[in-house]
Amino acid sequence: MISLCVMAGRWWAGLIGAVGLFAPLGAAAEEAKAPPPCTLEPGPIRTVTRVIDGETLILDDGKAVRLIGALAPRARDADAAQGAWPPEADTIKALSDLVLAKRVKLAFAGRRLDRYGRELAQVFVIDRGREDWVQGALLRGGFARAYGLPESFACTHELVANEAYARTRRLRLWQNGVYRTLTADRPGEIMKRRGKYERVGGTVVSVGRTKSATYLNFSNDWRSDFTARIDKKVLAANPDFDRSLDALANTTVVVRGWIERRNGPLIDIADPSQLEAADDAAASQTEAPKEARPAPPEGAEPSTVNLKSL
């Protein structure tokens, strides 16, 4: 059995503060050092009866829960045969070891359901007096990748920091070439990953603005190069992020998201957490910074989950 309980929920805030690499680029310096806590709305306590895949649980009331924020590996990542992709099997086993037949607390922020009717929740397993953050455990152990969905980008500082811990130490799926960071100056290779979730790193050549969006161009040929797009609605909701973008020319960054085709390959940025400074120096991080976890919600009713014990 993989020991995940020790890792659960123990992301290191110092990866953001001491190294300064994993905060969204639009945050002010002080905000990057001390990101706002993730405040969650309490949900029910249930028992996990089935683990469907590396990110989906079935509870004893029949409801399905998707572990929002922790993207599990799938066979389609490598165009492998269904059920024949070792990282997928490893994550399912790790998740099963952690939660199957155990009581879990659900907690919410933002969007509550996905298009399939699954609850989008942060999940905390209750075991032997401990309450362990499932997403944090999977990310920190190298079993998943940090991500978000529109209206579901809560806890991104915590999620990305957990992932960074595993990635810089090349744990599990980060040893696999399928999950390497792609190079922005090879748009042909990026396009082969169309429809898949990727990290793409490169130097921003220019920043272009239109009435509807801002574009980060990674070569001089916008018709075929890799591009990151930020819609005007995202910019309006994140003014500090918006103001930071013009200074990114000649800066090396990493963009994460699903690869689309719009002229050349493109990632549509829906949240500042999808854009990071390059993290080459992260591997030198050796100290164990201060531990932190998602903040408990305020004013929970006695009959509901009270996460103040977390």
| Distance of alpha carbon 88 from alpha carbon 77, whole angstroms | 10
Q: Give the CATH fold of the 11-176 domain.
A: OB fold (Dihydrolipoamide Acetyltransferase, E2P) (2.40.50)
Extents of the domains making up the chain? 11-176, 181-284
Query: Domain 181-284 maps to which CATH number in 3.40.640.10, 2.40.50.100, 3.20.20.70, 2.40.50.140?
Result: 2.40.50.140
Instruction: Note the pTM of the prediction, 2 decimals.
Output: 0.83
Q: Which pLDDT belongs to residue 294?
A: 75
Mean pLDDT by 10 residues, the chain (310 residues): 38 32 45 65 96 98 98 97 96 98 95 95 89 94 96 92 94 97 96 97 96 96 91 97 96 97 95 84 40 47 36
CA distances from 273 to 189, 246, 269 (A): 24, 17, 9
pLDDT of residue 25: 56
Helix (H, G, I), strand (E, B) or coil at 49: strand
CA 143 to chain centre: 12
Cα(72)–Cα(82) distance, rounded to whole angstroms?
14
Intrachain domains 11-176 and 181-284 with the same fold: yes
pLDDT at 217: 96
What distance in Å separates the CA atoms of residue 28 and residue 65, rounded to the nearest whole number? 35
Angstrom distances, CA of residue 11 to CA of 14, 63, 78, 145, 201: 9, 29, 28, 14, 23
